[in-house]
Structure 1
Amino acid sequence: MNDFDYKPPTDPWLDTIYKDKDMIVFNKPAGILSVPGRDIERHDSIYSRLLELHPNSHTVHRLDLATSGVIIFALKKEAERALKIQFQERETKKIYYARVLGHVPQPQGCIDVPLSKDKENPPKHKVDFESGKACKTFYEVVSYGKQSTLIKLMPVTGRTHQLRLHMMAMGYPILGDDFYAEPLALSLSPRLLLHASEISIKHPYTKKMVCFKTDVPFLEAIGEQ
């Protein structure tokens, strides 16, 4: 990752889908960090851009650099605490969509495969049945392309790279995954085809359930030969 050329998208600067006095929700594009990186070259992020507008805002959860979709930030300390608890206690409901290499035969199922840090290859993670942490993802097949499957993913846990590794464990790598995918899966997309489409949470102030959704940018299997 040291030679990674970080050029985050700038148009739009921030794609806001919801805002009130307690929180703000963005549609994060692929290719930008959720929070600043360790060095100055990777300072630009959704959170650093938000801080320019709302200096007292707080992070609640993150999406990977290569993942697009719904991301939530708190605009008050009280809201941060209320929202973080929901993510930590797995009270949120998250729906992702991915396009994977091959045709997944089962229309639905559950992937229950433990994961751990790959200490020899950071920042990667790996399947680890001996000492890995429990991870569970439900899935539903949506449609098939010529060489791919569009799949709906509903993670119960929120481990780093969970969805990427769970699809790999099934034998269906996510297209464009430059961390884990084989050459063919990597070549079929210039970006990771993983999108956080929907998050349902309890509003930190009203305590009512709210749902934030964004369109999936790769519903059609474009570019497959």
Structure 2
Amino acid sequence: MPLSTIRIVHQDAAVLVVDKPSLLLSVPGRAEDNRDCLITRLQENGYPEARIVHRLDWETSGLLVLARDPDSHRELSRQFHDRETEKTYTALCWGHPEQASGRIELPLRYDPPTKPRHVVDHEQGRSALTFWRLLERHETFSRVELTPITGRSHQLRVHMLAISHPLLGDRLYAHEQAMAAHERLCLHACMLAFTHPRSGERLRFECPAPF
């Protein structure tokens, strides 16, 4: 598959930073017809050495960093594990939060009966923390900035649902009105910062949301 829908934001000998489009897997799915994904497209179009460090959901767009050699992959993976990276997302959510900002600290776990959904579970869930900030109010929805401190699957989507502000276009978690309010999931990784694995320089990249 061509690279045409994947914008290369930055590249050097150690790392690639790309803007992943919505409706593209980060890595291959289990089924044969899910082989098309970000890493496959990169490896087949000039970057055979590219290695995934972290992922974005299929429907989520925005910034991803990939490593280009084993040592860089190891170091970037460590930074994500030790929460030394910074990630910020832009989202559109249903309704209007009463406060200008806040935090959501609710434990999450995978829910096999409703797969691939995740749920809040205070007994068996893993700790999860999200900070949010209101950016704009519109007639029926709001634009918010979301900063995940932990990196649980579907964390931002489930946390915003838990405070009664599901994300627009979210086919897994939103109610009918919020789901119908936009043709795509309105969640975009707009800022990513990390320390370059070779030079030690702190790098920061920004990519405005397409919605």
Q: Give the aligned partner of residue 24 of structure 1.
A: 16
Q: Give the aligned partner of residue 127 of structure 1.
A: 120
The 5-angstrom pairing of residues 35-184 of structure 1 reads 35-52=27-44, 53-184=46-177
For 2:49 and 2:203, locate their aligned partners in 1 and report how far apart those are by CA, in whole Å.
Answer: 23
For 2:5 and 2:131, locate their aligned partners in 1 and report how far apart those are by CA, in whole Å.
Answer: 33
Match of 1:206 among 185, 188, 199: 199
Q: Tell me the alpha carbon deviations over residues 111-154 of structure 1, each in whole angstroms, 9 at most, x when there is no partner.
A: 00110010212221101011100000011100011100100001
Q: What residue identity is the alignment partner of 1:167?
A: M
Equivalent pairs, count: 210
Note the residue ranges of structure 1 that are not aligned, 5 or more in a row: 1-7, 219-225
Q: TM-score, normalised by structure 2?
A: 0.97
Which 4+ residue blocks in structure 1 deviate beyond 2 angstroms? 10-14
Q: After superposing the two structures, state which structure 1 stretch, 12-21 or 187-196, moved more.
A: 12-21
For 1:133 and 1:11, locate their aligned partners in 2 and report how far apart those are by CA, in whole Å.
Answer: 36
SS in 2 for 1:120: helix
Q: TM-score, normalised by structure 1?
A: 0.91
Q: What is the percentage of aligned positions where both structures have the same residue?
A: 38
Pairwise CA distance, 1:12 = 2.5
Q: What residue identity is the alignment partner of 1:157?
A: T
Match of 2:7 among 8, 15, 19: 15
Q: Tell me the alpha carbon deviations over residues 173-225 of structure 1, each in whole angstroms, 9 at most, x when there is no partner.
A: 0000000100000000110000000011010001111011101112xxxxxxx
